[in-house]
């Protein structure tokens, strides 16, 4: 009887391991998006400097009882321009949105908002990127949905497009509103 060499078994085992990795990796909701370790946890502090003379972010807003978005953006970010009309739409619908201008020059951030409109209830400046690191920001834009107690419900990495709004954000907003006392 012929003896099977370990070198003959290694390629099929390696192939099976890679196939399993690909299968389980593709089974995620959005295989292109990196998961956030903060989902389901209390949001980190939001201690940012004011952006010009726009209303600044009071860190107490995180736990004020109101559902809100925290949006990290920059003037140099092309996808931030893509998502801007969606943010303006949500502002018109009454959703509280707080903006964090990320690693940007204040004058450029102010110019961006002057040109496209200001969707934010309040906005702050994260020049060093330290707050973004605490929040787990990989790149801008990134948007976090928070419940009224300041818990992160979901993170949308990349532009908040109509597709993301209808497919991911609105269902989570509905669920939060339905679960709220008095609804």
**What residues contact 84, with CB distance under 8 A and at least 6 apart?**
116, 117, 119
pTM of this prediction? 0.80
Q: Are 51 and 110 in contact (CB under 8 A)?
A: yes
Q: Which residue has the tokens 């993170």?
A: 155
Q: What is the pLDDT of residues 98-141, one digit of tens each?
A: 999 999 999 999 999 999 999 999 999 999 999 999 999 999 99
pLDDT tens digit sequence for 149-163: 999 999 999 999 999
Which residue segment(s) compose the domain that 165 sits in? 34-179
| 49 lies in some domain | yes
Q: From CA 88, how far away is CA 176, in angstroms rounded?
A: 21
Q: For the chain, how long is the longest CA-to-CA vector?
A: 84
User: Does 29 map to a domain?
Assistant: no
Rounded to 5 degrees, what angle do the CA atoms 99, 177, 32 make? 55
Total of domains in the chain: 1
Question: Does residue 44 fall inside a structural domain?
Answer: yes
Residue 11 forms part of a structural domain? no
CATH at residue 55 = 3.40.30.10
Q: Per residue in 40-89, pLDDT tens?
A: 899 999 999 999 999 999 999 999 999 999 999 999 999 999 999 999 99
State residue 32's pLDDT score. Answer: 45
110, 78 Cβ separation under 8 angstroms: no
């Amino acid at each position: 009887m012929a003896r099977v060499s370990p070198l003959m078994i290694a390629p099929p085992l390696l192939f099976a391991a890679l196939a399993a990795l690909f299968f389980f990796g593709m089974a995620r909701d959005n295989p292109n998006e990196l998961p956030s370790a903060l989902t389901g946890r209390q949001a980190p502090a939001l201690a940012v400097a004011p952006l010009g003379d726009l209303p600044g972010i009071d860190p107490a807003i995180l736990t004020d009882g109101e559902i809100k978005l925290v949006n990290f953006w920059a003037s140099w970010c092309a996808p931030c321009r893509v998502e801007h009309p969606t943010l303006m739409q949500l502002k018109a619908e009454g959703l509280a949105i707080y903006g964090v201008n990320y690693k940007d020059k204040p004058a450029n951030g102010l110019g961006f908002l002057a040109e496209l409109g200001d969707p934010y209830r309040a906005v702050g400046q994260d020049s060093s990127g330290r707050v973004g690191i605490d929040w787990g920001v990989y790149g801008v834009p990134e948007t976090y949905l928070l419940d009224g107690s300041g818990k992160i419900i979901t993170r949308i990495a990349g532009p908040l497009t109509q597709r993301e709004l209808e497919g991911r954000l609105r269902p989570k907003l509905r669920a939060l509103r339905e679960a709220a006392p008095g609804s």
